[in-house]
Amino acid sequence: KKRNEENRKKKKTLGEMKKPVGAEKKRVKRSSGSASTAARDSGSDAPPRKQAVKKDLFQLFAEKVRDHKGLESRWAVMEQARVEYFRGKDFVSFIKNHPECKDILEEDKDLDTEDIANVLLGKNLLVRCDRVTKTLRPGKKKLSTWPAHLEIFRDGQAFSETDAFFAWTFEKRHPLWQTLLSFFWPVLTLAICLFPVYPHRCKLIVLYSCAGILLMILSLLFVRALAFGAMWILFGKRVWFFPNILAEEATLKELFRFWPKKDEEEPPKWTSRLFYTVVAVVVVMLLRRHAPDEAARARYQRRMSNIIDDVLEWSPKLALSGLMENQPPVNITEAANNSSDAASPDQTEEVDQDETQGDEEGEDWNNSDIKT
């Protein structure tokens, strides 16, 4: 009886303990379900996890302004690096003439030019620069408009319109034609190396086109230098036609600009003009005196034409045929006779040696018989 009563008590206590545990499990399940539904409801209103990274509008504005042809810029060396820079007054005039460029800024398009430039400076898209040489060179009235060497401005990075330079700090995107040109250069190099195996007509086309372009460039430079020398000696003016023809950083439009820039330098002295006039006359007289005669010119022309003909007419087939033709014909019978004739003296010498040895042996035998 006692054992039965103890078992009943244990069952009651176990039942009482199981009831709150089950209730707690139900409560946990209900709470987790309500939390998941709340998360679903809130997730429907929240934005998606993977959103496109929005690019800085001022970065896009800087790239657009830099690629625009309306803003005049130059290249210079700043702390052992080449940078592209512009002047502050040119930036102000550019924004005034092209206000549509500010539309990319959206909410900030109503900002002033100075505020926009200060934002670009704050985002390190621009850096203010200053000229390295701040003293006038001898013979000049003012400093150069576009200095070739710059340094970082030390007195604060703020926009200024008067005598201030600003350099771009980000790398410029390369256009598609430059990418295609980078793939085209190896093909062009391979084509140049394979020039000797071209057909004769292609060789003539390449030769005459390259010679014509080279002659045009040299004649243009010669006429340009001649016009400059004549204007400088006669009138004391520095006039360079096609002023950007030898410029490294120039667009195609600027490269073939014909009219020269305004001469801002001090005119030369009459003594220097007279000195260079005498030097030019002496050089012309020396060239005329020591010029080659007709026979020498014909000889030089013949040599050059022979060299060009060798280059144009060369081909692997002609080279192989020329090598075969230069070799003398080989006759088998004559070769055999020559080989027999070459080998006969040795054989005769061996026969003579054998005969002499036989005679000596015969004499030795006779002497031995006599002694016996």
pLDDT digit string (tens) for 252-261? 777 778 887 7
Q: In this predicted structure, what is the pLDDT of residue 42?
A: 44
Q: Does 67 share its domain with 135?
A: yes
Residue range 161-165: mean pLDDT, rounded: 87
Reported as type and span, the H/E element at residue 9 is helix 2-45
Domains of the chain: total: 3
Query: Do 273 and 317 have their domain in common?
Result: no
Burial environment of residue 128 by CB neighbours within 10 A (0 to 12, 13 to 18, 19 or more): buried
Same domain? For 253 and 300 the reply is no
Residue type, 118: N
Same domain, 215 and 258: yes
Average pLDDT, integer, range 197-216: 88
Lowest-confidence region among 18-22, 148-152, 169-173: 18-22
Top mean pLDDT of 50-59, 60-69, 175-184 is at 60-69
Which is more confident, 326 or 72?
A: 72
Residue 128 within a domain: yes
231 and 221 in contact (C-beta within 8 Å)? no
| Average pLDDT taken over every residue of the chain | 75
Domain membership of residue 270 (yes or no) is yes
Mean pLDDT value across residues 241-254: 76
Q: Are residues 157 and 92 in the same domain?
A: yes
Contact at 8 Å (CB) between 233 and 277?
yes
Residue 180 lies in a domain: no
Residue 319 within a domain = yes
Distance CA 153, CA 163 (A): 12
Co-location of 78 and 149 in the same domain: yes
Is position 366 within any domain? no
- pLDDT score at 110: 86
Do 257 and 282 lie in one domain? The reply is yes
Structure tokens at 106: 């959206």
Q: What is the pLDDT of residues 259-313, one digit of tens each?
A: 877 766 778 888 888 998 999 999 989 988 888 888 888 888 888 777 777 666 6
What is the per-residue pLDDT for 180? Answer: 86
Domain with 159, as residue range(s), is 57-168
| Backbone phi and psi for residue 310, each to the nearest 5 degrees, phi listed first | -60, -40
Looking at 168, 190, 224, the residue that finishes a domain is 168
Decide which of 262, 288, 314 is a domain's last residue: 288
Mean pLDDT of 149-173: 88
Instruction: Give the number of other Cβ atoms within 10 Å of residue 117's Cβ.
Output: 24
**pLDDT for residue 157:** 87
Would the pLDDT of 43 be above 50? Answer: no
126 part of a folded domain: yes
pLDDT band at 218 (very low <50, low <70, confident <90, very high): very high
Does residue 113 belong to any structural domain of this protein?
A: yes
Task: Annotate 326-355 with b (16+ C-beta within 10 A) or e (fewer).
Answer: eeeeeeeeeeeeeeeeeeeeeeeeeeeeee
- How are beta strands 126-131 and 74-78 bridged, if at all? unpaired
134 with 80, same domain?
yes
pLDDT of residue 18: 46
Q: What is the mean pLDDT of residues 44-52?
A: 42
CA–CA gap between residue 75 and residue 167 (Å, rounded): 9
Q: Kindly give, in sequence order, each residue whose CB lies less than 8 Å from that of residue 71, ignoring residues fewer than 6 positions away.
A: 65, 86, 90, 91, 94
Inform me whether the pLDDT recorded for 55 exceeds 70: no
Looking at residue 69, the DSSP 8-state letter turns out to be: T
- DSSP-derived secondary structure for 138-203: TT-SS--SS-SEEEE-SS-----SSS-EEEE-SPPPPPHHHHHHHHHHHHHHHHHHTGGGS-HHHH
In terms of domains, do 260 and 237 share one? yes
Report which residue type is found at 321. Answer: S
Burial of 86 (0-12, 13-18, 19+ CB in 10 A): buried
Residues 83 and 153 in one domain: yes
The answer, yes or no, to whether residue 336 has pLDDT greater than 80, is: no
User: Domain boundary residue among 235, 261, 288?
Assistant: 288
| Residue 235 clears pLDDT 80, i.e. is over it | yes
pLDDT, one tens digit per residue, over 120-153 is: 999 999 999 999 888 887 777 788 888 889 999 9
Arithmetic mean of pLDDT, 6-10: 68
Together in a domain, 131 and 157? yes
In the DSSP assignment, the letter for residue 243 is T
Residue 135 lies in a domain: yes
Q: Which residue, 62, 61, 72, is CA-closest to 165?
A: 72
**Which range scores top for mean pLDDT: 46-50, 104-108, 138-142?**
104-108
Q: Are residues 269 and 308 in the same domain?
A: no
